[in-house]
Amino acid sequence: MRWQLLLGLLLLALAACGTEGGTAEPLRVTLRSLPTAYVGERYDVRVPASGGIRPYHYELEGDLPEGVQFAAGRFSGTPRKKGSFKLNLAVSDAALSTRTVNFTLRVTDPPPPQLSVKQPGSATDSPFIAVFKLNERPTTALRLHLDLKNLTPDLESFSASDDLLYVLRYNAEKHTLDLDGAFTGVVKGLEVFRIKLTPAEKLLPRLKPVVQFFNAKGEPYTPNPPKRPPDKGEYAFDDLRTLAAHWPGPKPALKAPPKKETAKPDEKAAPPAAKKPPADEPQKSAGSPEPAKPKEKPAPLPGDLNHDGKVGPDDLAQLRASYAFNPGGKLTPPQESVEKKAPPAGDEQQKTGSQKPQPKQQP
C-alpha cells in the first residue's frame, strides 16, 4: 500500500511540473481579443496560454497586415496600411490538446493625443491652478485655443514644460487664451503647462481647450487648427517648429587649418615653382601685396532668426515679439511680405521674453 501511495504522489508531481500554474488545469488561451494597431506605430502583443502540458505550439491562419509578423505566440512589427484582418489561432500543448481562438486585428490611423485638465470639481470663487497634461499619445507640437469666460488668467504664473517652446496670447476683451507650442522632441504623458485662474464669481470651472496636435513626422493629427482672430507678424507656427527642432542649435563647424607638407629628414624640400601669369595679365612687381580674397558667408542655420550664428533664447524672444497666430487659419505664413507687428498693447497681451520657459512646478 505504501509503494502505491508513493507512486500516486509521484505521478501527480510529474503532471504538476508540466503545467504553467503548477496544477493540472486544462489548456486555455487567456487573450480573447487583439488591441487595435496604428499605422506607422510599433505593435507588440503576446498571446498567453495557460494550463495543459508545456511546451506550447502556435499555428496561425489568415493574412497579417503588411509589416506585422507572428512567431512564438507574439505579434510584432509596424503596420503600414489600414484594414481589418481575420485570423485563426490554434494553440497545442505536449499532450496534443488544442484550443482555437478567432481574432480580428484592426489597423487604423493613430488617434490624436488628448489634453486633460486638472481643475476644481465643485463651484468656487477662489483662485485655482489649472494643470494641462498630455496623455500617452506621442506629439511634437500643438496649437491651443481656450475660452476663459468669467476667468482671469495670471500670465506671470504661467509655467510650461522644459521641453516646450511657446508663444502665448491673451485677449482680455474676448476672454480667450491662445498658445502655439513646439516640443524639442517627441513627447507623451507629461504636464504641458499650468496657469493660475481667478473666477469673477462663484462658478464650476469647465475648461475645454480646443487643440490641434502634430505627430512625430510633423503632420497634424486633425486637419483643422483652432479658430483664431486674424493677426500679422514676421514669424508663424512653422518658424516656431523649426526653432524647436534645432534647439539649442547646432554650432558652425570649424574648418581645419590647411596641412603643411614638410620635407623628409634625408631630403631637402624643393622650392615651389613660380607660377607664370597669363599672357594678357600684367606682371606684378616684386613685393606687391596679394589682394584679399572675400570670405565665404556660412550657410544660415535653421532657427537662427537673428543671424548671430547660433540658436537660442534670443531667437525665441525675437519670434515672440513679432508672431502671427496664422492669419486666416493657415498653417504657414502668407508668401507675400507681411507687415511687422508692433508689440501688443491695450487689452491684448502676448507673452515675450528671451529665456526658455521656466521648469514646471510639482502639483
- Domain end point (choices 58, 74, 108): 108
- CATH number of 54's domain: 2.60.40.10
Number of folded domains that form the chain? 2
Same domain, yes or no: 174 and 320: yes
**DSSP secondary structure of 5-66:** HHHHHHHHHHHHHTSSSSS-PPPEE---SPPPEETTS-EEEE--EESSSSPPEEEEESPPPT
36 close to 108: Cβ distance less than 8 angstroms: yes
6, three cell numbers = 508513493
Check whether 360 has a pLDDT greater than 60.
Answer: no
Cα(79)–Cα(354) distance, integer angstroms = 43
CATH code of residue 132 = 2.60.40.680
Cβ neighbors of 15 (< 8 A, separation 6 or more) are: 24, 53
Residues 148 and 239 in one domain: yes
User: Do 95 and 45 reside in the same domain of the chain?
Assistant: yes
Mean predicted confidence (pLDDT) in 90-114: 95
Residue with cell 494550463: 51
Helix (H, G, I), strand (E, B) or coil at 77: strand
Whole-number pLDDT of residue 300: 82
Residue 342 is part of which domain span? 115-249+310-351
pLDDT for residue 2 = 58
User: Is residue 357 situated within a structural domain?
Assistant: no
- Secondary structure (DSSP) of 268-293: PPPPPPPPPPPTTSPPPPTTPPPPPP
Q: Does some domain include residue 259?
A: no
Q: What confidence tier does 264 reach under pLDDT thresholds 50, 70, 90?
A: very low
Determine the distance from the C-alpha atom of residue 12 to the mean position of all C-alpha atoms in its chain, rounded to a whole number: 55
From 108, 135, 159, the end of a domain falls on 108
Q: In the chain, where do the E strands start and end?
A: 28-29, 37-38, 43-46, 49-50, 57-61, 68-71, 74-77, 83-92, 98-108, 115-118, 128-134, 139-147, 151-160, 164-171, 176-187, 191-199, 210-214, 348-351
108, 138, 169 - which closes a domain: 108
If asked whether residues 168 and 225 sit together in one domain, one would say yes
Do 222 and 86 lie in a common domain? Answer: no
Q: What is the pLDDT of residues 302-342, one digit of tens each?
A: 999 999 999 999 999 999 999 999 755 554 433 443 344 44
Based on the fold, state whether residues 133 and 214 are members of the same structural domain.
yes
Separation in Å, CA 341 to CA 166, 320, 344, 345: 18, 10, 8, 11
Q: How confident is the model at residue 18 (pLDDT cuts 50, 70, 90)?
A: very low
Q: Is the pLDDT of residue 295 over 90?
A: no
Q: What is the pLDDT of residues 103-148, one digit of tens each?
A: 999 999 999 999 999 999 999 999 999 999 999 999 999 999 999 9
Separation CA 147–CA 131 (nearest Å): 15
User: Is 130 part of any domain?
Assistant: yes
Please tell me the distance from the alpha carbon of residue 87 to that of residue 90, in angstroms, as a whole number: 10
Specify if 293 maps to a domain. no
